[in-house]
């Protein structure tokens, strides 16, 4: 506890120390232009599903936490950066957060709005009240006191510093839109947007639209454009596994999980591909080559998720959605593909996914890679780092992975909390005024 005594000593003799009312921290002071907050429990960065799950699991064990969120609401990615027709790709039973199932009257695949309603009810049930509009600029472990210093900036430029023993990174794999470099795209005279900005195909009626990327988002946006009488084309840059959303009367994911209890991955993959071939035929015949590695094995090795078809493949087969290879270059109105073909388009939509933003603010290199912002250790070992650092939502396993991470993190912190964190709060409490 020497680190605490050192911190206590430094703060006791800090003549800037004052008490200020604040609904979340137990201790608050002004330090120059920065308001410093002592947090007895973990600081959680991100109020998406991962951050909420972590806060709820901690709350269930009696461990308080503060959730910092750069937006003005929970699950901002779901609320502001997803298309209208979005539904959960997996059945709700595989997407519920810990300690609270979806309402029974929700459909098997809840809509975007239903999922947001569920998350809001989840936050309310566990009393999770994030500190909104706090952009975390840096988080760094201070060796001199053995604590994390998390610095954030509010909308009006006000600076805060949260000092804590544990830091939970819950900003996830999809914090920032991933925009690839495409030769000449800046000269394109039509509309160019990422799927983060796309809501509906209604504004593209009658227009030729090129969708770049053939993951679940690219496939669904292409289908949505079709349903709104646009003329979409799909750029398929790499081999991709497309599976039916359901097989043999069960969800493909659920069936896969059940089979994996009894059979090795390669055998389950073979079974899935045989059924897919019986349902779809040879996808390579209409421009969708399959990878050499099976869908589940590929997911485990690289995190690349197979596409679960919701009707796009039928539109590709019928010719309503055209398939093109990679882009060579973009002109004012046209796109040239690597096979030499040139075609005019009115708009380009980048369904190129998202990326982690942890390297931009987390000053740490042992747990997270600076290259892609993901934990160095593969699943299931990437949730815990050194010095009280944790990660939730980086397992490349969607909401199910976030739930698993949240449970592990809360259990681990709880072990230390009872022995250490309460003593911390009492030690500092002898010298400082606590918020009731």
DSSP 76-131: HHHHHSS-TT-B-SS-GGGTPPTT-PPPTTS-SS-BHHHHHHHHHHHHHHTT---B
CA 400 centroid distance within chain = 12
User: Which tokens in the block code for residue 357?
Assistant: 């933003």
Query: Are 237 and 325 in contact, with CB atoms under 8 Å apart?
Result: yes
Percent of the chain scoring above 90 in pLDDT: 79
Strand partners, 140: 149
Tell me the HSE value of 195 on the side-chain side, using a 13 A CA sphere.
Answer: 30
Across all residues in the chain, what is the average pLDDT? 89
177-184 average pLDDT score: 93
> What pTM did the predictor assign?
0.87
22-49 average pLDDT score: 74
CA distance 397 to 157: 36
Distances, alpha carbon 283 to alpha carbons 224, 242, 278, 298, 421, in Å: 21, 8, 11, 18, 56
Residue found by looking up tokens 């994390």 in the block: 148
Q: How confident is the model at residue 224 (pLDDT cuts 50, 70, 90)?
A: very high
Query: Are 173 and 393 in contact, with CB atoms under 8 Å apart?
Result: yes
Any idea which of 130-144, 227-241, 295-309, 344-358 has the lowest mean pLDDT? Answer: 295-309
Query: Are 26 and 425 in contact, with CB atoms under 8 Å apart?
Result: yes
Radius of gyration of the chain (CA): 24
The per-residue pLDDT for range 246-269, each reduced to its tens digit, is 998 899 999 999 999 999 999 999
Task: State the pLDDT at residue 265.
Answer: 94
CA distance 290 to 288: 6
94-118 average pLDDT score: 96
Angle at CA of residue 91, ends 274 and 48, nearest 5°: 125
Burial 260-283 (b: 16+ CB within 10 A, else e): eeeeebeebbebbeebbeeebeeb
5-16 average pLDDT score: 41
Q: How confident is the model at residue 365 (pLDDT cuts 50, 70, 90)?
A: confident
Q: How confident is the model at residue 19 (pLDDT cuts 50, 70, 90)?
A: very low
Write the burial class of residue 157 (CB in 10 Å: 0-12 exposed, 13-18 middle, 19+ buried). exposed
Query: Are 63 and 421 in contact, with CB atoms under 8 Å apart?
Result: yes
The per-residue pLDDT for range 65-74, each reduced to its tens digit, is 999 999 999 9
434 DSSP assignment: P
For residue 306, is the peptide bond before it cis, meaning its omega torsion is within 30 degrees of 0? no
Q: How confident is the model at residue 426 (pLDDT cuts 50, 70, 90)?
A: low
Asked whether residue 351 carries a pLDDT value surpassing 70, the answer given is yes
- Ordered DSSP codes for 370-400: TTTSSBSSPTTSTTB-STTEEESS-SSSHHH
Relative to beta strand 342-344, strand 334-337 is antiparallel
CA distance 196 to 53: 23
User: Which tokens in the block code for residue 304?
Assistant: 């690349």
User: Which tokens in the block code for residue 300?
Assistant: 């485990």
Task: State the pLDDT at residue 304.
Answer: 85
Task: State the pLDDT at residue 423.
Answer: 64
Q: How confident is the model at residue 430 (pLDDT cuts 50, 70, 90)?
A: low
Structural domains in the chain, sorted by start: 2-175+356-429 (3.50.50.60), 178-353 (3.50.50.60)
Task: State the pLDDT at residue 4.
Answer: 44
Q: How confident is the model at residue 285 (pLDDT cuts 50, 70, 90)?
A: very high
CA distance 170 to 48: 8
Task: State the pLDDT at residue 21.
Answer: 32
Q: How confident is the model at residue 14 (pLDDT cuts 50, 70, 90)?
A: very low
3 state SS of 265: helix
């Amino acid at each position: 506890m020497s680190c605490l005594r050192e911190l206590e000593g430094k703060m006791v003799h800090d003549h800037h120390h004052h008490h200020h009312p604040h609904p979340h921290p137990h201790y608050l002071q002004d330090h120059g232009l920065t308001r410093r907050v002592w947090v007895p429990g973990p600081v959680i960065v991100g109020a998406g599903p991962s951050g909420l799950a972590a806060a709820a699991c901690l709350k269930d064990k009696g461990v308080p936490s503060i959730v910092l969120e750069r937006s003005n609401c929970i699950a901002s990615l779901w609320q502001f950066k997803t298309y209208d027709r979005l539904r959960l790709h997996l059945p709700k039973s595989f997407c519920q957060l810990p300690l609270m199932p979806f309402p029974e009257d929700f459909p098997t695949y809840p809509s975007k709005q239903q999922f947001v309603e569920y998350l809001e009810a989840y936050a309310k049930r566990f009393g999770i009240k994030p500190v909104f509009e706090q952009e975390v600029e840096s988080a760094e472990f201070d060796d001199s006191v053995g604590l994390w210093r998390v610095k954030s900036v509010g909308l009006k430029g006000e600076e805060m510093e949260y000092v804590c023993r544990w830091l939970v990174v819950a900003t996830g794999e999809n914090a920032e839109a991933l925009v690839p470099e495409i030769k000449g795209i800046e000269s394109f005279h039509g509309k160019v947007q990422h799927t983060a900005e796309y809501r509906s195909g209604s504004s593209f009626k009658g227009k030729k639209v090129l969708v770049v990327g053939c993951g679940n988002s690219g496939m669904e946006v292409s289908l949505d454009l079709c349903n709104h009488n646009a003329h979409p084309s799909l750029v398929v840059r790499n081999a991709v596994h497309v599976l039916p959303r359901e097989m043999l009367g069960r969800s493909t994911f659920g069936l896969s999980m059940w089979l994996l209890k009894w059979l090795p991955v390669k055998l389950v993959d073979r079974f899935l591909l045989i059924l897919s071939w019986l349902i779809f035929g040879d996808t390579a015949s209409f421009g969708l080559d399959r990878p050499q590695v099976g869908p589940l094995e590929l997911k485990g090795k690289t995190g690349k998720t197979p596409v679960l078809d919701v009707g796009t493949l039928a539109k590709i087969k019928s010719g309503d959605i055209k398939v093109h290879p990679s882009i060579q270059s973009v002109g004012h109105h046209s796109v040239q593909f690597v096979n030499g073909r040139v075609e005019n388009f009115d708009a380009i939509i980048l369904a190129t996914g998202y990326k982690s933003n942890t390297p931009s603010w987390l000053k740490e290199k042992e747990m997270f890679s600076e290259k892609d912002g993901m934990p160095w250790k593969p699943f299931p070992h990437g949730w815990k780092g050194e010095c009280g650092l944790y990660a939730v939502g980086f397992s490349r396993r969607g909401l199910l992975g976030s739930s698993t991470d949240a449970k592990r993190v809360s259990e681990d912190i709880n072990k230390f909390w009872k022995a250490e964190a309460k003593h911390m709060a009492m030690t500092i409490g002898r010298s400082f005024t606590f918020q009731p």
